[in-house]
A and B are shown apart, each in its own frame.
Chain A
């Protein structure tokens, strides 16, 4: 079984819809992250969480919210999706030392 899983893997939705992307991990890491990847822009950090009670905004948090339901689960929500949120979304985890981040397989989101 994969250590970091993301659901769904692909999603097509319409403008204005609310959508949730889920991330689960079995690595026992405290820290979890959500990134989006756009061609030519690399990965940009949306939100990160250092433990269940600690949530922090990244560089592009507008239009997104997150929930850390448990150590192993970190969900990303788009309250009202818009077309420029079409992207590949990655969840990642790391131990406290942050010597390595472990990435999920990604969710490809298309907003029409």
Chain B
């Protein structure tokens, strides 16, 4: 089974500073990777996804992530954060299930807190 590790449960950062949220996945022949964001009292929203092709993926709200196969990582970055980026961020990997379907396995989440 696939797994995803988010080592940082909380990341505090000042507004306008850069931020990196780390995600490592278990090795597989091919992986589809996702970052979701959960704003307070809301459901999850897709930030970006890596399916194939360019290893640098750009998402919404100025976020980007880089797929690194040798390090089995898919870290999320933003060069300058805003107060409104305060949220919980989840990394996820797609894995196949019996019967030919797919499901997502999520990491435990990283709480990004942006301070003035």
Contacts and interface: CB of A to CB of B under 8 A. Distances in A.
B106 to A, nearest CB: 4
Nearest to B98: A56
A50 B105 CA distance: 16
Interface of A is mostly: strand
A58 B43 contact: no
Contacts of B90: 42-43
A50 B101 contact: yes
Bin chain B's interface residue count.
Answer: 20 to 34
Interface stretch (A14-22, A69-77, A78-86, A102-110): A102-110
Interface of B: 6, 9, 32, 34, 36, 42-46, 49, 51, 90, 94, 97-99, 101-109
11 contacts: A40-B108, A42-B6, A42-B108, A43-B106, A48-B101, A50-B101, A54-B99, A56-B101, A90-B43, A101-B104, A105-B43
Contact of A98 (B42, B43, B104): B104
B103 A45 contact: yes
A41 interface: yes
A48 B43 contact: no
A4 B94 CA distance: 21
Bin chain A's interface residue count.
Answer: 20 to 34
A98 B106 contact: no
Contact of B45 (A31, A42, A48, A103): A103
Nearest to B91: A42
B99 A50 contact: yes
B103 A58 contact: yes
Contacts of A58: 103
Contact of A99 (B6, B51, B103, B105): B51
In the complex, the 9 A-B pairs of residues with the closest C-beta atoms, listed nearest first: A103-B43, A42-B108, A98-B102, A43-B106, A103-B44, A42-B106, A105-B43, A50-B101, A42-B109
Nearest to B102: A98
